[in-house]
Amino acid sequence: MKVAVVGATGLVGSMMIKVLEERNFPVSAFIPVASEKSVGNQVAFKGNNYDVIGIDAAIALAPDVAIFSAGGSVSLAYAEKFAAKGTVVIDNSSAWRMHENIKLVVPEVNGEVITAHDKIIANPNCSTIQMVMVLNPLHQVYNIKRVVVSTYQSVTGTGAKAVNQLMDERNGIISNDPAYPYQIDLNAIPQIDVFLENDYTKEEMKMVLETKKILHDDRIQLTATAVRIPVMGGHSESVNIEFEKSFEVAEVRDLLKKTEGVIVQDNLQERLYPMPMLAHNKDEVFVGRIRRDESINNGLNLWIVADNLRKGAATNAVQIAELMLKKGFLVS
């Protein structure tokens, strides 16, 4: 495959390159792409250095696959131009996620929706990915009625600038160009992305709308609160679920233990539960603190953690490419 990574010099783009290497995706020609200010810099892939090129030059090369992580405006401006060349675009931004004719895919959950005709495929929001990985098997058995989720999200979800702000503050340095309007070290900021007319943030509404699209069920009622906290390694989520059907907690644990890509960490005697430091650099979604919500009928509480740069972004994107290759939809 001729593979382009658009946004190759960013945090997520760098992780996409790492995941392509680790999973040994068949790359015959590697094309790192970034903004004009990065053109000419070099990016390493499988022991070799490659010159970063501009996006127009990359389109002219007509890669088989282009994995985008360069922001929504870039995706909107260039994804269709790549697709017109026959390139399969896997986009990590929010630009195409809610378009009616664009598939929004988590391979373990709804990979069957991909067809040979799909030239632009959307990668869901990082917080949505890890949540639906756990919700999907439960919905299939117990029918989810309502979800209340609060997220505790890593600064890596914002990017290198936010990581630098956190580490500078930790070292007593006040940034002249902070990523956040407030100090993030020793703090929690209950705003991720911009506020919308309904007083929810864009991040919160992404989780609401994307979950319904991925699970193919608009009846699910979901409300979200997204919070940025001073950690690295992964996003955490407190998830409260109300089912239509009754359940046993032991059955829920067994069901999740059998779910591809999900690892149950739920041993209270040994104080084993998911944490960002345990999820860091891993591709699985971790779930624990599994317990009945005794305040309502058919209620369940969960704690879900995943590395937002990997399964929440890079790994899921590469898995989409792998699935298309397996189905015979990618031909070099």
Domains of the chain: 2-124+313-326 (3.40.50.720), 127-308 (3.30.360.10)
The DSSP 8-state label assigned to residue 267 in this structure reads: B
Burial class of residue 60 (count of CB atoms within 10 Å of its CB; 0-12, 13-18, 19+): exposed
Q: What is the pLDDT of residue 332?
A: 63
Report the residue count for the chain. Answer: 332
CA 324 to CA 65: how far, in whole Å?
10
CA 106 to CA 41: how far, in whole Å?
32
Q: What is the pLDDT of residue 1?
A: 93
Q: What is the pLDDT of residue 43?
A: 96
R_g of the chain, CA atoms, integer Å: 20
Return phi, psi of residue 112, to 5°: -70, -15
User: Annotated catalytic sites, by residue?
Assistant: 126, 235
CA 101 to CA 262: how far, in whole Å?
29
Largest CA distance in the chain: 60
- Per residue of the chain (332 residues), what is the pLDDT tens digit? 999 999 999 999 999 999 999 999 999 999 999 998 999 899 999 999 999 999 999 999 999 999 999 999 999 999 999 999 999 999 999 999 999 999 999 999 999 999 999 999 999 999 999 999 999 999 999 999 999 999 999 999 999 999 999 999 999 999 889 999 999 999 999 999 999 999 999 999 999 999 999 999 999 999 999 999 999 999 999 999 999 999 999 999 999 999 999 999 999 999 999 999 999 999 999 999 999 999 999 999 999 999 999 999 999 999 999 999 999 998 76
Q: What is the pLDDT of residue 65?
A: 98
Burial class of residue 171 (count of CB atoms within 10 Å of its CB; 0-12, 13-18, 19+): exposed
Q: In this predicted model, what pLDDT tens digit does every residue of 56-108 receive, in sequence order?
A: 999 999 999 999 999 999 999 999 999 999 999 999 999 999 999 999 999 99
Cβ-contact 106, 90 below 8 angstroms: no
Q: What is the pLDDT of residue 89?
A: 98
Cβ-contact 15, 310 below 8 angstroms: yes
CA 305 to CA 315: how far, in whole Å?
15
Cβ-contact 135, 147 below 8 angstroms: yes
Give me the chain's average pLDDT, please. 97
